Amino acid sequence: MKKQLFVLLWLCLLPMLLVPFAAAQEAVVPPELVGSWTGVSRDGIQLAFTVDADGTGRYTFTQQGYTESYDFTLESDTETFSATVPADNQLGISACGGTYAYGDGVLTLDITTAFAGGRDFQYVVRCERESEPRSGPKNGTYLYDQNEKYSITIKDNACRLGFGSNFITAGCQEEGDGTLRVTGAGPYHQVDLTLAPQEGGLWVSGDLILKNARGQINAASLLGLDHAVFTPKPPFALSQIPGSSWIMSTAQSKNEGENPFTSFMELSFYDGGEGVMGDWFSGTYAFTYTVGGNAVTLTFAEQDTVALGTLENDELILDLGAVVVRYTTR
pLDDT tens digits, residue range 67-82? Answer: 778 898 988 889 999 9
Nearest to 210 by CA among 231, 185, 232, 193: 185
Q: How far apart are CA 160 and CA 189, in angstroms?
A: 13
Binning pLDDT at 50, 70 and 90, where does residue 259 land? low
Tens digit of pLDDT for each residue in 16-50? 444 443 333 344 788 888 888 888 877 678 888 88
Is the confidence at residue 250, as pLDDT, over 60? yes
pLDDT in tens, 141-160: 899 998 888 999 887 667 88
| Percent helix, strand and coil across the chain, each to the nearest 5 | 10, 60, 35
Q: What pLDDT shows up at residue 193? A: 93
DSSP count for the chain of H helices, then E strands = 1, 24
Question: Is 132:105 a contact under the CB 8 Å cutoff?
Answer: yes
| C-alpha dist (Å) from residue 255 to 112, 127, 215, 258 | 64, 52, 43, 6
Q: Return d(Cα 142, Cα 201) in angstroms, integer.
A: 7
Beta bridge partners of 175: none
CB atoms within 10 A of CB 296: 20
Mean local confidence (pLDDT), 212-219: 89
For position 14, what pLDDT does the model report? Answer: 40
pLDDT the model gives residue 254: 78
Mean pLDDT of the chain: 81
Contacts of 58 (CB under 8 A, 6+ apart): 49, 50, 69, 70, 71, 72
Q: How far apart are CA 18 and CA 23, in angstroms?
A: 9
Residue 193 CB: number of other CB atoms within 10 A?
24
- The answer to whether residues 124 and 40 touch, using CB atoms and an 8 Å cutoff, is no
Determine the 3-state secondary structure of 12 from DSSP: helix
Q: How far is CA 66 from CA 45, 62, 63, 69, in A?
A: 10, 5, 5, 11
Measured in degrees and rounded to the nearest 5, phi and psi for residue 7 equal: -65, -45
Q: What is the value of pTM for the model shown?
A: 0.48
Q: What is the pLDDT of residues 276-314, one digit of tens each?
A: 998 777 788 999 999 987 799 999 999 888 999 998 877
For 220-237, the pLDDT digits (tens) are 899 999 889 999 888 888
